[in-house]
Amino acid sequence: MKKNSDLLSKLLQKFSSMLPWSVALICMPLIQTSYASEPQPWQWNFQPPATPVMEQIIDFHNLMFFVEVGIVLLVLGLMVYIVVKFNSKANPKPTKTTHNTTLEVLWTVIPIVILIIFAVPSMKLLFFMEKAQNPEMTLKVTGNQWYWSYQYPDNGNFEFDSNIIPDEDIKPGQRRLLEVDNQVVLPVNTEIKVLLTARDVMHNWAVPAFGIKIDTIPGRINETWMKVTKIGTYYGQCSELCGVAHSRMPISVKVVSKEDFKKWLKKAKSEFASSDNNKMLKLAQLKK
Amino acid sequence: MSNITHDHHDHRPSGWKRWAYSTNHKDIGTMYLVLSMFAAIIGGAASMLMRAELHEPGIQFITDPQFYNVLVTAHGFIMVFFVVMPALIGGFGNWFIPLMIGTPDMAFPRMNNVSFWLVAAALILLVIAGFIDGGAGTGWTVYPPLSSADYHPGMAVDFGILALHLAGASSILGAINFITTIINMRAPGMTFHRMPLFIWAMLLTAFLLLLAIPVLAGALTMLLTDRNFGTAFFAPDGGGDPVLWQHLFWFFGHPEVYIMILPAFGIISEIVSTFSKKPIFGYLGMAYAMTSIGVVGFVVWAHHMYTMGFNVETRAYFTLATMVIAVPTGIKIFSWLATMWGGSIKFDTPMLYSMGFIFLFVVGGVTGVTLANAGVDMAFHDTYFVVAHFHYVLSISALFSMYAGFYYWFGKMSGKRYPEWLGRLQFWVTFVGVNLLFFPQHFAGMAGMPRRIIDYPDAYAGWNMISSWGAYISAVGGILFFVVLYKTLTSNVKAEANEWGVGATTLEWTVDSPAPFHTHEVTPNIIPEPAE
Amino acid sequence: MELKKQKSTTRVGDGVVNMRKKSSRNGLTAVVLGFLVFSMIGLAYASEPLYRIFCQVTGYGGTTRIAVFDNKGLVAKNSITVRFDANVNKLLPWRFKPMQNKITLRPGEQAIAFYEATNVSDKPIVGTAVFNVAPFKVGEYFNKIECFCFTEQILLPGQTVQMPVTFFVDSSIAEDRNTKEVSTITLSYTFYASDDQSEVENLSRTSLEIKKSVDSLRRTQIIQPG
């Protein structure tokens, strides 16, 4: 119970200090000004796409969005009309209509047609995401509590961990909760096979700008592919509840030109331990 | 004959025994409603704490991130199992099924009592679970391996499992009770196609409960034995698979959300018909729309698992099957609108909430169509877009139906009339609050904000702040509800037997307000009105 | 349809009598419903073997097959690359890696690959490996003839073993519309500490006996350390 009264006083303190923050935020510009590979304040749309998959996701979503907004506005319009025309003062005598076959057929068939209109691009997108590629390299991603490890089996078979840069070490210009010590470096315009697994509990590797989001499940390898078409740095966050630091295991991918990638590989091979002698193994207690 | 009723009244218990040993559907319904309100305060408090923490980036006052995850978990369980279900099914279901079908009580009145006290015990166990051994910080989905003994040692998850077993048993017994009552005990002349739509909704809900909850029970037992008795259903090191839990949980979990919304559909149908002073448009279509929603709801579970990594053909199937549900749902929305069309509507509080329900359920429903598509779900899975979607259909729509049912039926239950101006105020405050709370979450999700995080990158601050203010306003709406409750109970204004006039054509409006302890001791005969 | 309550021909108390008359029918209904409940619980428990059989038959989720190698001489034209992936669960203090990154072979041909595991702790441990292939759709074509994953492995402290897996990719992979364009298959293992560590006790007993006989041998003969 002591915890609760601590909570309560902290709550009250926070409330009184929140006011200036709130005012500041409201005054911030409401229009998104620049495209970047990270979330922007007041962003209400997807992060700009950096892969053909994400471009297709956005296109398909836009189709659905406009139709759905239309449906919502239609229902709203009908309800406004009802309020105006059929309130008890405007219409004292109710009708007895309980059937209208035409209407019933229309509002069954038209939604079916709309769903078919959605289903076609939906299936196209799904199968495009699945299309077997000719990957030029492989990236292996492993989820841990609470960091990611990356292995490059085709390019020197080295492995490294990617830990969050904690709040207290964040420098100005860096993004809190998104920066890591070792980024994943990948070449642009290259088809990459991604293998994913986890070492302890379920995690999920996600990069919004890529349109990638796959569960990493212990005891199982998942596979997907990606091809990033824009040089830049891209951020994502773990997307499956994995314990106390679930909010603190970000993903940071640096996509560089193919030449820069080769240069980085050389450095990385010597800097990062070979997968053969990898990781500090903690002598964990056995379950029994 | 008169001897029987006389004896009946002589043996009616009073004091605490009236409630502890109750076999009266009205009293049991009342207890469920009280439990639901009590649990709403606890579950609501959990969400207020979370929204206060998320009001700004950085850690505000929850210094133990496990406690945040425990709040996430507790909020989910409490709202689903101890607020929505007890209110709609245990509360309004128990109160109005016998009244509407013309029978004195449920088929198994004593089992009805057992059902209630199981839920009460379950709630206590669940709250305890939050405070022992660090609590269960797994989310209401309880995925292993996070929920296994390796990563959640101690008894918290086990207490939670036990609590859910009790709640599940309660629901199964209740479902048997409801189905038996509705199938066997309708008054003569009330065929299936003359039942009020609320009864249809409750019958379908009970069938969903009957078939879905046992699967949850099985899964929970498997998790319990994995954690404590050396089995390996979900543990790869024993030959098991964490993915099996997901299949079992969501096979229950998806019908569960229809269990929560079907009673709401029933309540809204009654209110819309009553207030429009017209019968429901397309009665058969409504009944069979609800039936198909319930049936199809059993074969779409894997849309909660799209990113798990199963093959594309299966994802394609689940996408299409999930989208199919939009068709019967659309039939319902348009039928409600068509019912109102040509009606003579007084927009009292129950009708306000029903209008709010219809509109906001459409908003929640269309985001559901977006999410149904496995391709697009790659962008949305486990983001706040999903949180926005399900809160629109639950925390707004189901909640609105609970409020609507309260304002519609409270006069019948208590014999007192609520102050209309206060009801409307409570509606508008709540309406503004919940929309401010959940609409910005769509944007946060599109921008990439993940779920179940105690702290977020600074860019998401704007929408989170608005959402938190919406939460505080909703809380004021909740407090106002209790003010309405208090003011009504302490007022002297009596409610009529039929508060709502010619539009109210179901049988509960033929008995006194408050409904006597025993009703329908004379079985009504139902005859249809001659066609015009 | 509107319902109208007609003046009733039944009497006060009939409602209660009505309830009593219905009680046997209610009981039957309840029994039927209860049966449904238990069936669904049974279905939940049956899900595990049912899913397993389904996966084995269809190769779903990258479930591989166990097969006896039957070289009918059917070998596909185009080669396929099989790459090898290794993972260790956090709670198992072993190092585990494939000894070759990949092998290129033609579907229908048999091959053998090796994995190496080292117990870096100070206790003997029994390990068990789970596995799957990616992409999942090739699971039904991936056949293992011999595999270390078929049995549990016990490693003494500091011990390193090389473990073989003999496999082939069924040649009909090239004829399946779904899989014929697959050029790379990943075979992935994850080692866990076995649920059942009882072999360790047997080992201790055995090694104790061996130690006893070695000691007695030492007393009678000089045994040079190797």
Distance CA B127, CA B165 (A): 14
Which pLDDT belongs to residue A217? Answer: 95
Which 8-state DSSP code applies to residue A218? B
DSSP helix/strand/coil, C62: helix
Q: Say whether pLDDT at B5 is over 60.
A: no
Using an 8 Å CB-CB cutoff, list chain B residues near C44. Answer: 214-215, 217-219, 222, 248
Range of weakest confidence among A53-62, B78-87, C189-198: C189-198
Which pLDDT belongs to residue B526? Answer: 83
Which pLDDT belongs to residue A122? Answer: 96
Distance from CA of B484 to the nearest CA of C (A): 32
Which spans in B395-492 are helix H?
399-414, 420-446, 461-489
Question: Is residue C4 a contact partner of residue B517, using CB atoms and an 8 Å limit?
Answer: no
Using an 8 Å CB-CB cutoff, list chain B residues near A28. Answer: 462
Question: Is residue C188 a contact partner of residue C147, using CB atoms and an 8 Å limit?
Answer: no
For residue C69, what are the CA distances in angstroms to B41, C82, C108, C145?
65, 17, 9, 6
Range of weakest confidence among B200-209, B480-489, C42-51: C42-51
Residues in chain B: 532
Residue entry with tokens 């980036």: B57
Question: What DSSP string describes A127-154?
Answer: HHHH-----SEEEEEEEETTEEEEEETT
Mean predicted lDDT score pLDDT of chain B: 94
Q: What residues are paired with C191 via a beta bridge?
A: C88, C129
Beta strands A212-216; A232-237: pairing state: unpaired
Beta strands C94-98; C65-66: pairing state: unpaired
In sequence order, what E strands does B205-275 have? none
pLDDT tens, C71-104? 566 777 888 999 999 999 988 999 999 999 899 9
Where in the sequence numbering do the catalytic residues of B fall? 75, 105, 140, 170-171, 254, 256, 258, 269, 303-304, 329, 332, 451
For residue C179, what are the CA distances in angstroms to A127, B127, C140, C169, C182?
14, 51, 10, 12, 5
Q: Say whether pLDDT at C209 is over 80.
A: no
Which pLDDT belongs to residue C225? Answer: 52
Residue partners of B485: CB distance under 8 A and separation at least 6:
none
Q: Say whether pLDDT at C20 is over 70.
A: no
DSSP helix/strand/coil, C107: coil
Q: Say whether pLDDT at B410 is over 90.
A: yes
Q: Say whether pLDDT at B348 is over 90.
A: yes
Distance from CA of A133 to the nearest CA of C (A): 8
Does the CB of B330 have a partner CB in chain A at under 8 Å? yes
Residue partners of A158: CB distance under 8 A and separation at least 6:
A151, A152, A268, A269, A272, A273, A274, A275
Residues in chain C: 226
Q: Say whether pLDDT at B137 is over 90.
A: yes
Which pLDDT belongs to residue A141? Answer: 97
Percent of the residues in chain B that have a pLDDT greater than 90, as a whole number: 92
Which pLDDT belongs to residue B101? Answer: 95
Long-range contacts of B236-240 (CB under 8 A, 24+ apart): B236/A218, B236/A219, B236/A220, B236/C89, B236/C130, B236/C190, B236/C192, B237/A219, B237/C89, B237/C128, B237/C130, B237/C192, B237/C193, B237/C194, B237/C195, B238/C194, B238/C195, B239/C128, B239/C130, B240/C48
Look at B323 and A47 and tell me if their CB atoms are within 8 Å.
Answer: no
Which pLDDT belongs to residue B3? Answer: 41
Which pLDDT belongs to residue A14? Answer: 54
Look at B333 and A14 and tell me if their CB atoms are within 8 Å.
Answer: no
Domains along the sequence of chain A with CATH: 52-130 (1.10.287.90), 137-281 (2.60.40.420)
What letters, b where the CB count within 10 A reaches 16 and e where it falls short, cover B506-532?
bbbbbbebbbeebbbbbbbbbbeeeee
Does the CB of B244 have a partner CB in chain C at under 8 Å? yes
DSSP helix/strand/coil, C68: coil
Span C11-26, average pLDDT? 61
Look at B311 and C192 and tell me if their CB atoms are within 8 Å.
Answer: no
Residue A274 CA, chain-centre distance (Å), reads 31
User: What pLDDT band is residue C15 in, cutting at 50, 70 and 90?
Assistant: low
Residue partners of B358: CB distance under 8 A and separation at least 6:
A75, A79, B268, B272, B333, B336, B337
Which of C19, C25, C30 is facing B104, going by the closest CB pair? C19
- A232-237 sheet: strands from edge to edge: A184-187, A250-256, A232-237
Residue in chain A closest to C188 (alpha carbons) equals A221
Using an 8 Å CB-CB cutoff, list chain A residues near C90. Answer: 144-145, 199-200, 282, 284
pLDDT tens, B22-40? 999 999 999 999 999 999 9
User: What pLDDT band is residue B146 in, cutting at 50, 70 and 90?
Assistant: very high
- C102-105 sheet: strands from edge to edge: C102-105, C80-88, C184-193, C125-134, C153-155
CB-side exposure of B79: number of CA atoms within 13 Å?
Answer: 21
Question: Is residue B268 a contact partner of residue B494, using CB atoms and an 8 Å limit?
Answer: no
| Closest by CA position to B148, among listed B140, B139, B138 | B138
Residue C154 CA, chain-centre distance (Å), reads 18
Which pLDDT belongs to residue C199? Answer: 75
Distance from CA of C110 to the nearest CA of A (A): 23
Q: Identify residue A44 by its one-letter amino acid code.
A: W
**Token digits of residue B85:** 């279900």
H helix or E strand, kind and range, residue C3 = strand C3-6
Total CB pairs under 8 A between chain A and C: 83
A66 CB neighbour count, 10 Å cutoff = 10
Residue entry with tokens 């309260």: B406
**ipTM for the complex?**
0.93
Which spans in chain A are helix H?
2-27, 52-85, 101-130, 258-271
Which pLDDT belongs to residue C217? Answer: 72
Which pLDDT belongs to residue C226? Answer: 42
pLDDT tens, B67-77? 999 999 999 99
| Closest by CA position to A39, among listed A163, A215, A175 | A175
Which of B281, B312, B379 is facing A211, going by the closest CB pair? B379
Which pLDDT belongs to residue C16? Answer: 54
Distance CA C196, CA C127 (A): 9
Which pLDDT belongs to residue A33? Answer: 32
Would you give the end-to-end CA distance of chain B in angstroms? 40
Distance CA A268, CA A156 (A): 9
Which pLDDT belongs to residue A30? Answer: 35
Range of weakest confidence among A47-61, B79-93, B513-527: B513-527
Question: What DSSP string describes A238-279?
Answer: --S--STTGGG-EEEEEEE-HHHHHHHHHHHHHHSPBGGG-S
Q: What residues are paired with A138 via a beta bridge?
A: A193
Which pLDDT belongs to residue B117? Answer: 97
DSSP helix/strand/coil, C78: coil
Question: Is residue A38 a contact partner of residue A251, using CB atoms and an 8 Å limit?
Answer: no
What is chain A's pLDDT, residue by residue, as a tens digit (288 residues)? 445 555 655 555 555 555 444 444 444 433 333 334 889 999 999 999 999 999 999 999 999 999 999 999 999 999 999 999 999 999 999 998 999 999 999 999 999 999 999 999 999 999 999 876 788 999 999 999 999 999 999 888 899 999 999 999 999 989 999 999 999 999 999 999 999 999 999 999 999 999 999 999 999 999 999 999 999 999 999 999 999 999 999 999 999 999 999 999 999 998 886 654 444 333 232 222
C neighbour chains, 3+ CB pairs within 8 Å: A, B
| Closest by CA position to B364, among listed B250, B260, B451, B472 | B260
Which spans in B136-189 are helix H?
156-184
Number of H helices, E strands in chain B: 19, 1
Does the CB of C197 have a partner CB in chain B at under 8 Å? no
Which of A108, A201, A222 is facing B309, going by the closest CB pair? A222
Which pLDDT belongs to residue A29? Answer: 38
Residue partners of C29: CB distance under 8 A and separation at least 6:
B107, B179, B180, B183, B184
Q: Say whether pLDDT at B176 is over 90.
A: yes
Which of A219, A221, A284 is facing C134, going by the closest CB pair? A221
Residue entry with tokens 């190769």: C59
Span B224-251, average pLDDT? 93
